[in-house]
Amino acid sequence: MRLTDLAHQSGEWLRGVGADSDIVISTRIRLARNVAGYPFVARLKPADQADLSQRLCESIVDDAVVPECHYFDLKVASDIERRLLVERHLISKEHEEAQGDRGVAIRLNEAVSIMVNEEDHLRIQVLHSGFELAETWRATNEVDTGLARRVPYAFSERLGYLTACPTNVGTGMRASVMLHLPALELAKQIEKVFHAVAKINLIVRGLYGEGTQASGNLYQISNQISLGKTEEEILQEIQGIIPEIVENERRARHFLLERNRQQIEDRVWRAYGMLCHARIISSGETIALLSHLRLGVHLGILSELDIAAVNQLFVRTLPAHLQVLEGRELDPQVRDVARAAYIRKCLAQGRHTGDQ
C-alpha cells in the first residue's frame, strides 16, 4: 500500500454512518504514551529516535497489535504525502513538519492510526463515524492494552501516564467529537454552545484541532484537562454535552425550515449551483458551499445526493488530495481551476468518482 492510495479510498470518519451522523461527523479518542527508559522526543538523540521508531514499528505492525496495519516512514515521505495525512486527520500538523525519524501506522480502513515520535513517543488514535463514544473508547483501549504488553510505558503511580506536555499528564486522553452545526450558526445561537461547553472545561476547536479556525460550520469539542480525572470521567463529560448540542441543532434546523423554508432552500440550491458550474474555486469557498450542501441533503432538499459522497468532497478537494488525484503538483491558481472541474465532474455523476 502506498500513501497516495489513501486519496482514492473512503476514510472511516467520512462514511456518514453511526449515531446522530446527520450532525456528528466523527468521534475520536487519542492517547499520549511514552516508552520508559527513553527521554521525551524533544530530548532524543538522533540514534535513539531511529532506534525507537524501529522498535515501535515492529511492535505495532510485525506483532500485529493493529490488524491490517501499514507503517509509513515520514522522514522519507514527500511534502504532499505528509500533507495528505494531515488532511485525512491521520497525523497532526506538528508531526508533518517535524524532523528526524518518525512515522505513522495506519489501519487499512483508517479507523486506527498511531503516530510515532510526534510530541510523545506514541499518539494512539481511533476515529469512528458518528457519535460512537463507547465503541471508540473500547477500540482505543484494546490497542493501548496490546501495545502495553510489548513496550513499557512511562508511568507514575502518583501522576499517571507521563507526557511531554503537562496538560496531557494523567490519562493522556483527548476525546473529541466533530459536529456540523450550520443551523445554530444561521440562527446566531452558536455562541451559546461555546459558553455551555466552556462551563464544563471543554474546548471548541476548528476542523483541524488546536490553533485552527472553524470552517464549513464544523467544530471539534474536546476535553482540556487530563490530570486528576479518570478516562470514564472525561468520557462522561463529553457524553453529557453532545446530545444537548445535537438536539439544539435539530431544533434550529426545524425552526429554520418552518419559518424560513424558501431562504434555506435558496441557500442550498445556490450552493449547489455554484459548485456545479464554477470554473475557479478556492478550498475555503468549497468548504463553505459544501456545508450548505450537506445541510440540504439531511433536510431532504437535495435527496438525490449521497451524504458519503458530499463528505468525501470536504477532503478530496483539499490541496494535497487534489494534487494526488490529478497525479501532479499544481500551483494555487491551477489548483483552483482543477478543483472546480473535479467538483463539477463528481456532482454530474451524482456520486463521488472514488466510490465507483
CA distance 33 to 141: 12
Euclidean distance between CA atoms 93 and 173, whole angstroms: 19
- How far is it, in rounded angstroms, from Cα 209 to Cα 207? 6
Residue 179 and residue 196: Cα distance in Å, rounded?
15
Q: Specify the residue for cell string 515492529.
A: 58
Is the distance from CB of 222 to CB of 205 less than 8 angstroms? yes
Q: In terms of DSSP bridges, do strands 173-180 and 202-205 run parallel, antiparallel, or are they unpaired?
A: unpaired
Q: How far, in Å, CA of 162 to CA of 171, rounded?
A: 9
Name the grid cell of 287. Answer: 468548504
Tell me how far CA of residue 321 lies from CA of 1, 7, 46, 95, 301, in angstroms. Answer: 16, 6, 31, 18, 28
Dihedral sign computed on CA atoms, order 51, 53, 58, 60: positive
Distant-in-sequence, close-in-space partners of 19: CB < 8 Å, separation ≥ 6: 130, 131, 132
Question: What whole-number distance in Å separates Cα of residue 275 and Cα of residue 112?
Answer: 32
Contact 101, 50 (CB under 8 A): yes
Instruction: Report the number of secondary-structure helices (H) and strands (E) in the chain.
Output: 11, 10
Tens-digit pLDDT string for the chain (356 aa): 788 999 988 887 788 889 999 999 999 999 999 999 999 999 999 999 999 999 999 889 877 788 889 999 999 999 999 999 999 999 999 999 999 999 999 998 999 999 999 999 999 999 999 999 999 999 999 999 999 999 999 999 999 999 999 989 999 999 999 999 999 999 899 988 888 888 888 889 876 555 445 678 999 999 988 888 899 999 999 999 999 999 999 999 999 999 999 999 999 999 999 999 999 999 999 999 999 999 999 999 998 888 888 999 999 999 999 999 999 999 999 999 999 999 999 998 864 433 43
Full-model pTM: 0.90
